[in-house]
């Protein structure tokens, strides 16, 4: 494909994306195809190349019916996955440059734009100054959890972990509400599920510090080595917020790495009125927030900061001869290959840069505040209802609710709403009770969309 062909076809592709975004609200939110439907309609790979016309036709004929539309204004499932059009263009620019930014020397701009953005966000989000210089873009919060655990293992072992690995006495602490990525990280790091301790939660589903203290003391007495505690600001099920400052004090007492997972709620720190949720973050060893959830940036882009970048680099660095270069050996640059699991890395910072340049910090704050206001509105309707109840306190733009007649009624209401196609919600369980999660966060969601969801739920009741 020559540049002139790319220019012509590129216009067609951009037009297709723009047309899709204009009509996405008219499509059913969730795909209705049966398993195998898409594959049955895909042709064998061509022996000879062909133009893009057939591919674009197949997008309409096969891909769209088999797609759940995460950018739909009626998408309230899981958590938002904002792929704003400025971030789409930033992603295109990154792909167009086609750089592999594993080393500073392989693309200085890929490294230094990322450093600049992560350091700027320290101030914009009110993060502790100890994170300045310790920021890096990971692909997901799951990868962030794994690198945090590897750094924690390295520090706990005094550096011997790199040579000898784990000895089976290490322990990691989560609550019943902590994201499963921490347990997966324990498996990948060689600790196994036996190393993971599930700490009790209180009546608002936040981690109980007294139970955490008891479990740590019991493990220490048994000769085990506490390595990491994961505190969460905005749990997946209900948006619960763990008492980070109290947990941090306990971690400091025992020399345990504190990782704070705010994958969904983290961007809210851009708004000063929400920063109380992050109290104690100044004592954390690492912190993650997904820009690809609620910060208008297309998947995948997870923000990760650590107060100990030297420990992280020492845990992960490996330097074969073919990667040696003058800039690295000078010690004057950062090589982000040592801050992540894979060696290679995309120029993801261009997506985030595009978003922040287009919207500005105030525009992103307005995006966040609007969703919280919509959630407050829905909360007021639930409070005035005789049929529905909140089963956990509202957390920012996340509500968890259930029908007064019990699990069957709640499940039936969810199924009816999802089958209608105008909205998509998912569920969780709260103290054994089936509940609907409403995560307001799509960029195009407005008051009339939330009102329509409430009317559909009320009609189901």
Q: Looking at residue 162, what is its pLDDT?
A: 84
Label the pairing between strands 398-403 and 426-430: unpaired
Closest CA to 145 of 172, 171, 175, 177: 172
pLDDT band at 329 (very low <50, low <70, confident <90, very high): confident
Q: What is the pLDDT of residues 188-200, one digit of tens each?
A: 999 998 999 999 9
Structure tokens at 120: 């700027």
Q: What is the pLDDT of residues 419-443, one digit of tens each?
A: 999 999 999 999 999 999 999 999 9
Backbone angles phi, psi at 110, to 5 degrees: -60, -40
Q: Looking at residue 305, what is its pLDDT?
A: 98
Selecting from 3.30.365.10, 3.30.420.40, 3.40.640.10, 3.40.1280.10, what CATH number does the domain 99-346 have? 3.40.640.10
Q: Looking at residue 27, what is its pLDDT?
A: 96
Backbone angles phi, psi at 276, to 5 degrees: -65, -25
Closest CA to 117 of 353, 339, 325: 353
User: What pTM was computed for the model?
Assistant: 0.95
* Lowest-confidence pick of 50-59, 211-220, 363-372: 50-59
Closest CA to 125 of 259, 287, 246: 287
pLDDT band at 330 (very low <50, low <70, confident <90, very high): confident
Q: How far is CA 48 from CA 2, 3, 45, 197, 346, in A?
A: 17, 21, 9, 56, 30
Structure tokens at 199: 């700490």
Structure tokens at 337: 């290959």
Q: How far is CA 395 from CA 69, 234, 285, 422, in A?
A: 24, 7, 24, 24
Q: What is the pLDDT of residues 236-261, one digit of tens each?
A: 999 999 999 999 999 999 999 999 99
Q: What is the pLDDT of residues 284-320, one digit of tens each?
A: 999 999 999 999 999 999 999 999 999 999 999 987 7
- Is the peptide bond preceding residue 300 cis, with omega within 30 degrees of 0? yes
List the beta bridge partners of residue 402.
Answer: 389
Q: Are the CB atoms for 131 and 287 separated by under 8 Å?
A: yes
Q: Looking at residue 51, what is its pLDDT?
A: 87
> Rg of the Cα trace of the chain?
23
pLDDT band at 322 (very low <50, low <70, confident <90, very high): confident
Q: How far is CA 402 from CA 253, 327, 337, 405, 449, in A?
A: 41, 58, 46, 8, 20
Closest CA to 31 of 77, 95, 92, 85: 77
Cα dihedral 41, 45, 47, 53 in deg (nearest 10): 60
Q: Are the CB atoms for 166 and 150 separated by under 8 Å?
A: no
Cα dihedral 359, 364, 367, 370 in deg (nearest 10): -130
Q: What is the pLDDT of residues 166-184, one digit of tens each?
A: 888 999 999 998 888 899 9
Q: How far apart are CA 75 and CA 421, in angstroms?
A: 10
Q: Looking at residue 2, what is its pLDDT?
A: 94
Mean pLDDT, the chain, rounded, equals 95
Would you kindly state where each structural domain of the chain is located, as residue ranges?
99-346
Q: Looking at residue 23, what is its pLDDT?
A: 96
Q: How far is CA 335 from CA 122, 125, 133, 268, 437, in A?
A: 20, 25, 13, 29, 41
Q: What is the pLDDT of residues 373-419, one digit of tens each?
A: 999 999 999 999 999 999 999 999 999 999 999 999 999 999 999 99
Q: How far apart are CA 198 and CA 175, in angstroms?
A: 5
Q: How far apart are CA 461 and CA 459, in angstroms?
A: 5
pLDDT band at 461 (very low <50, low <70, confident <90, very high): low
Q: Are the CB atoms for 303 and 404 separated by under 8 Å?
A: no
Q: Looking at residue 157, what is its pLDDT?
A: 93
Q: Tell whether the model's pLDDT for residue 279 goes beyond 60.
A: yes
Task: Determine what percent of the chain is predicted with pLDDT higher than 90.
Answer: 90
Q: Are the CB atoms for 219 and 226 separated by under 8 Å?
A: yes
Structure tokens at 360: 């500005």
Q: Looking at residue 48, what is its pLDDT?
A: 93
pLDDT band at 460 (very low <50, low <70, confident <90, very high): low
């Amino acid at each position: 494909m020559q540049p002139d062909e790319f220019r012509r076809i590129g216009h067609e592709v951009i037009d297709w994306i723009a047309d899709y975004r204009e009509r996405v609200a008219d499509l059913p939110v969730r795909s209705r195809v049966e398993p195998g439907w898409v594959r049955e309609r895909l042709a064998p790979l061509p022996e000879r190349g062909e133009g893009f016309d057939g591919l674009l036709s197949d997008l309409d004929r096969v891909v769209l019916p088999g797609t759940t539309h995460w950018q739909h204004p009626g998408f309230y499932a899981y958590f938002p996955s904002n792929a704003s059009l400025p971030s789409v263009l930033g992603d295109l620019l990154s792909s167009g440059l086609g750089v592999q930014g594993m080393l500073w020397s392989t693309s200085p701009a890929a490294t230094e734009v990322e450093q600049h953005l992560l350091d700027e966000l320290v101030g914009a989000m009110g993060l502790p100054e100890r994170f300045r210089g310790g920021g890096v873009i990971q692909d997901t919060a799951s990868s962030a959890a794994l690198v945090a655990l590897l750094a924690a293992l390295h520090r706990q072992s005094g550096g011997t972990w790199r040579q000898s690995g784990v000895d089976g006495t290490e322990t990691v602490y989560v609550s019943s509400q902590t994201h499963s990525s921490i347990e997966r990280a324990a498996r990948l790091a060689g600790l196994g599920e036996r190393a993971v301790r599930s700490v009790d939660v209180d009546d608002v589903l936040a981690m109980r510090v007294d139970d955490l203290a008891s479990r740590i003391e019991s493990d220490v007495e048994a000769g085990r080595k506490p390595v990491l505690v994961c505190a969460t600001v905005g749990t997946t099920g209900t948006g619960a917020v763990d008492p980070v400052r109290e947990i941090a004090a306990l971690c400091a007492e025992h020399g345990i790495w504190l990782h704070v997972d705010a994958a969904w709620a983290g961007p809210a720190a851009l708004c000063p009125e929400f920063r109380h949720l992050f109290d104690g973050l100044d004592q954390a060893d690492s912190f993650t927030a997904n820009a690809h959830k609620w910060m208008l940036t297309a998947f995948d882009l997870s923000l990760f900061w650590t107060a100990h970048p030297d420990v992280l680099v020492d845990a992960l660095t490996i330097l074969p001869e073919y990667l040696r270069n003058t800039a690295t050996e000078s010690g004057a640059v950062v090589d982000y290959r040592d801050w992540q699991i894979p060696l290679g890395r995309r120029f993801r910072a261009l997506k985030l840069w595009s978003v922040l340049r287009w919207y500005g910090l105030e525009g992103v704050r307005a995006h966040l505040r609007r969703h919280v206001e919509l959630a407050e509105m829905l909360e007021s309707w639930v409070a005035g209802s005789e049929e529905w109840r909140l089963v956990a306190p509202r957390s920012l733009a996340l509500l968890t609710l259930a029908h007064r007649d019990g699990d069957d009624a709640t499940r039936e209401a969810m199924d009816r709403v999802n089958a209608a196609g105008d909205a998509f919600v998912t569920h969780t369980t709260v103290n054994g009770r089936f509940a609907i999660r409403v995560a307001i966060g799509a960029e195009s969601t407005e008051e009339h969309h939330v009102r329509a969801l409430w009317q559909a739920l009320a009609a189901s009741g």
